[in-house]
Amino acid sequence: MKRSELKQRKLDATQARVLDVQMPDGASWAKSLREDALSRLLTMGLPAARDEYWRWTRPDTLISAEVPKAATFSADEAPLFSSIDRLKVVFVDGVFDADASDDLSGENLEIMRLSDALATDIHWVRDAYGVQEKKAQVPVERPMATFNTAFATDGIVLRATGKVSRPVSLIYLHQDDSSEAILHHVIRVEEGAEVTVLENGPAAARFNKVMEVDVADGAAFHHVRAQGRDHERRAVTHLFATVGSEATFKSFTMTANGVLTRNEAFIDIIGDDSVAHIAGAAMGDGDFHHDDTVFITHDAERCESRQVFKKVLRNGAKGVFQGKILVKEGAQKTDGYQISQGLLLDDDSQFLAKPELEIYADDVACSHGSTVGAIDEEALFYLRSRGVTTPEATDLLVIAFLAEAIEEIESPEIVEDVLHRFEGWLQRRRS
Amino acid sequence: MLEIKNLHVKLEEEDKQILKGVNLQVGPGEVHAIMGPNGSGKSTTSYVLSGRDGYEVTEGEVLLDDENILELEPEERAAAGLFLAFQYPVEIPGVSNMTFLRTAVNAQRKARDEEELSATDFLKLVRAKAKSLKIDADMLKRPVNMGFSGGEKKRNEILQMAMLEPKLCILDETDSGLDVDAMKLVSEGVNALRDGKRSFVVITHYQRLLDHIKPDVVHIMYDGRIVKTGGPDLALEVENNGYADILAEVENA
């Protein structure tokens, strides 16, 4: 089939797909932003298997009209972050649950539902909704995010004006086995402000989420998320961030389970002397499929970026990493680091990686590495020779493999909690 | 304590016989040294005793307190009281030395149906033992053997030995890569563990380690067998004349 025919087929499919999707109500300015997103979507088309960045992750079940069913799962342990003093914002199958949520207010914090914000006229939201998503379509199209901008039903808008003491915790509950959730969060961390956002839960049978974060000069944004234990769930998420000067952006994601997860991140460093770290630790079993697609742009001097992605795969599970560091002309003294590693616990599992560097400045230090391997037999024997049983020694080495990613979490309390989850996951699978 | 009877071992992957009938008896509280030229089978003996993969025992048996340990997994041998101080201690990124030690101590206690050590008790114990080996808090916090110097690695082996309190300690060329001071420190650590019951097999090329850790019996290994056994003087003989005389004597016998 010719290229043009393929493209036409893609556009036809996109047209057919969006036909029945209702565009949520809102103020006219919001409506026009959504209409703009829809028209952009109809020009680029939804992802197809032949697209360069979708070769390793099949998009069909993410874009099908019918939502593939996903059984809900009730865990016997308290969800992650339960012990942390936080401001809870609860969504059930993508619908805001006011009763289960805390009062949406806090010191140095403006926070409200996206659906409310888009129905009124909040100046900064008007200048932010879908803006980073739109900008991030070059050089690689991210149509699932554009779809989200057009059709997101809810989310939060959050503005931190100083140091926010309690983390804002977004909790995504899943109760309906064929639900679809489309959430869009808009976050602005003002100059010198600081906020931590936590996310956890499976959200829905199929989840499409966008988070746009604007970290102003001297501000700090911390983000930790856990993607839920419902194994049959599907998720496509986009994290867009703009990082100002002397600012800090840190994001960590843990994933254990999920037949399809595609996490895209697009981080634009535009101010000098700032730091952007993004990390992920994933553990998967059987038909687990996990994809991290990351794009970091350095467009300022003396900035540091780190991408640390680790995946433990067993029993036929599949991991994908596509990561890029782009250093623009003039972004001197850039310190860029990227590591992606797959640990395969058997011969059936698979880790696919595409690390990329694109550098247009001449005074930078960038390193990247990608490895795939099995448990280190030497280390395993060493542990066993000290009396540690094979399953226990294996688990210890698996956790050790993830350490570099988990260490990116700032809070020791959350580190402990995350480690505990991974240990539990491994223990449940001991033969 | 330890009895090696007519041990024959070949490499699993290739048809190469390494041990060709090793016999050795080590009584409780005894220190035996095994010396010998490169390639004689010294390290292979230590690996086979500890249960490392890649070797096939074609004949013979190894008894630890009258139990044949060749059927046991490495972790079971450790729980039974066998400890190998590695010639090349392994680096384990991501696992702190402290976690490693606590996991090992508690795994062995569990295997012996003993109660696990509480975090506080463990910490007290490890700090006291580390101090005498001049292992500082930083070395305990760092990942296992990562960035350790040769001497630090060997001291760390002795710390593990001290924490695990095995019945039988095998030291595989623990002196290699050590300067005089480090050798002294390591030897003091080993000697502190001599209590009249615990036994030691010290594998070394050089006599100098045996100045610090005084052996009761010295064996010379050559071509997969123990070809000569004697007292501490035998080590001195090797030091002075090399192996040539002894081996010539053996071959002419």
Question: What confidence score (pLDDT) does residue B178 get?
Answer: 87
Nearest neighbour of B111 by CB, restricted to A378, A387, A401:
A387
Is any Cβ of chain A less than 8 angstroms from the Cβ of B117? no
Report chain A residues whose CB lies below 8 A from the CB of B89: 382
Highest mean pLDDT among A60-74, A292-306, B142-156: A292-306
Chain B: closest CA distance from residue A372 (Å): 16
Lowest-confidence region among A198-202, A394-398, B36-40, B50-54? B36-40
Residues whose CB is less than 8 angstroms from the CB of residue A322 and which lie 6 or more positions away in sequence, other chains included = A53, A56, A291, A292, A293, A294, A353, A354, A356
Element (H, E) at B228: strand B225-230
Q: Is A266 exposed, middle or buried (0-12, 13-18, 19+ CB in 10 A)?
A: buried
Helix (H, G, I), strand (E, B) or coil at A216: coil
The pTM (predicted TM-score) of the whole model is: 0.93
For residue B111, give both structure tokens: 């295997």
Nearest to A153 by CA among A177, A131, A180: A180
For residue B206, give both structure tokens: 């050089």
Chain A nearest-CA residue for B145: A379
Lowest-confidence region among A73-77, A155-159, B142-146, B225-229? A73-77
Q: Please judge whether A386 and B52 are an interchain contact, meaning their C-beta atoms are less than 8 angstroms apart.
A: no
Q: What mean pLDDT value characterizes chain B?
A: 92
Nearest neighbour of A400 by CB, restricted to B52, B90, B92:
B92
Report chain B residues whose CB lies below 8 A from the CB of A386: 78, 100, 104, 107-108, 160, 164
Question: What confidence score (pLDDT) does residue A289 get?
Answer: 98
* Among B95, B116, B159, the residue to mutate for chain A (most A Cβ within 10 A): B95
Please tell me which residue, A133 or B174, carries the higher pLDDT value. Answer: A133
Question: What confidence score (pLDDT) does residue B179 get?
Answer: 87
- E strands, B29-120, in order: 31-35, 55-64, 67-68, 82-85, 92-96
Nearest to B117 by CA among B128, B107, B103, B106: B106
Is any Cβ of chain A less than 8 angstroms from the Cβ of B89? yes
Please tell me which residue, B237 or A228, carries the higher pLDDT value. Answer: B237
Q: Is A1 a residue whose pLDDT tops 80?
A: no
| Longest CA pairwise span in chain A (Å) | 70
Q: How far apart are CA A200 and CA A225, in angstroms?
A: 5
Neighbours of B100 (CB within 10 A): 23
Interface contacts A/B by beta carbons within 8 Å: 78
Element (H, E) at B99: helix B97-111
Is any Cβ of chain A less than 8 angstroms from the Cβ of B72? no
pLDDT tens-digit map of A209-248: 999 999 999 999 999 999 978 999 999 999 999 999 999 9
Task: Provide φ and ψ at B175, rounded to 5°.
Answer: -80, -10
Report chain A residues whose CB lies below 8 A from the CB of B99: 396
| Longest CA pairwise span in chain B (Å) | 61
Question: What confidence score (pLDDT) does residue B241 get?
Answer: 85
Task: Kindly state the percentage of chain A with pLDDT values over 70.
Answer: 100
* Among A343, A382, A422, the residue to mutate for chain B (most B Cβ within 10 A): A382
Query: What ipTM was assigned to the predicted interfaces of this complex?
Result: 0.95
What one-letter code names the amino acid at B117?
L
Q: Is B157 a residue whose pLDDT tops 70?
A: yes
Question: What confidence score (pLDDT) does residue B207 get?
Answer: 84
Q: Over the Cα atoms of chain A, what is R_g? A: 21
Chain A nearest-CA residue for B47: A385
Q: How far apart are CA A354 and CA B124, in angstroms?
A: 48
Residue ranges covered by each domain of chain A: 10-375
Question: What confidence score (pLDDT) does residue A364 get?
Answer: 97
Is any Cβ of chain A less than 8 angstroms from the Cβ of B84? yes
Question: Would you give the distance in Å from CA A346 to the centre of its chain?
Answer: 27
pLDDT tens-digit map of A334-355: 999 999 999 999 999 999 999 9
Q: Please judge whether B92 and A389 are an interchain contact, meaning their C-beta atoms are less than 8 angstroms apart.
A: no
Question: What confidence score (pLDDT) does residue A335 get?
Answer: 98
Q: Is A136 a residue whose pLDDT tops 90?
A: yes
Q: Please judge whether A381 and B52 are an interchain contact, meaning their C-beta atoms are less than 8 angstroms apart.
A: yes
Evaluate the CA torsion angle B137, B138, B143, B148 in order and state its sign.
Answer: negative
Q: Please judge whether B73 and A382 are an interchain contact, meaning their C-beta atoms are less than 8 angstroms apart.
A: no
Question: Confidence class of residue B253 from pLDDT cuts 50, 70 and 90?
Answer: low
pLDDT tens-digit map of A280-306: 999 999 999 999 999 999 999 999 999
Is any Cβ of chain A less than 8 angstroms from the Cβ of B113? no
Q: Please judge whether A400 and B93 are an interchain contact, meaning their C-beta atoms are less than 8 angstroms apart.
A: yes
Q: What mean pLDDT value characterizes chain A?
A: 96
pLDDT tens-digit map of A24-59: 999 999 999 999 999 999 999 999 998 999 999 999
Q: Please judge whether B93 and A382 are an interchain contact, meaning their C-beta atoms are less than 8 angstroms apart.
A: no
Q: What is the DSSP letter of B89?
A: P
Alpha helices in A223-376 (DSSP H): none
Chain A nearest-CA residue for B99: A396
Q: Please judge whether A386 and B160 are an interchain contact, meaning their C-beta atoms are less than 8 angstroms apart.
A: yes
Q: How far apart are CA B214 and CA A256, in angstroms?
A: 55
Question: Which residues does A contribute to its contact with B (CB < 8 Å)?
Answer: 376-379, 381-390, 392-393, 396-397, 399-404
Question: Confidence class of residue A20 from pLDDT cuts 50, 70 and 90?
Answer: confident
- Percent of chain B that is helix, strand, coil (3-state, to 5): 40, 30, 30
CB of A313 within 8 A of CB of A351? yes
Chain B: closest CA distance from residue A167 (Å): 28
Q: How far apart are CA A191 and CA A304, in angstroms?
A: 19
Q: Is A263 a residue whose pLDDT tops 90?
A: yes
Chain B: closest CA distance from residue A256 (Å): 20
Question: Confidence class of residue A431 from pLDDT cuts 50, 70 and 90?
Answer: low
**How many CA atoms, within 13 angstroms, populate the side-chain half-sphere of residue B199?**
18
Q: Vertex B198, ends B165 and B6: CA angle to 5°?
A: 115
Q: How far apart are CA A422 and CA A424, in angstroms?
A: 5
Nearest neighbour of B94 by CB, restricted to A386, A387, A403:
A403
Chain A: closest CA distance from residue B47 (Å): 10
Q: What is the DSSP letter of A104?
A: S
* Among A386, A406, A416, the residue to mutate for chain B (most B Cβ within 10 A): A386
Q: How far apart are CA B161 and CA B92, in angstroms?
A: 18
Question: What confidence score (pLDDT) does residue B250 get?
Answer: 78
Residues whose CB is less than 8 angstroms from the CB of residue A107 and which lie 6 or more positions away in sequence, other chains included = A162, A164, A165
Chain B: closest CA distance from residue A329 (Å): 36
Question: What confidence score (pLDDT) does residue A406 get?
Answer: 96
Scan for tokens 């860029």, then name that residue: A336
For residue A304, give both structure tokens: 């540091």
- E strands, A179-274, in order: 180-189, 194-200, 206-215, 220-226, 234-243, 248-256, 260-269
Chain B nearest-CA residue for A384: B75
Q: Please judge whether A388 and B90 are an interchain contact, meaning their C-beta atoms are less than 8 angstroms apart.
A: no
Chain B: closest CA distance from residue A275 (Å): 24
Question: What confidence score (pLDDT) does residue A156 get?
Answer: 98
Question: What confidence score (pLDDT) does residue B53 get?
Answer: 93
Report chain A residues whose CB lies below 8 A from the CB of B86: 382, 385
Nearest neighbour of A400 by CB, restricted to B73, B94, B164:
B94
Report chain B residues whose CB lies below 8 A from the CB of A371: none
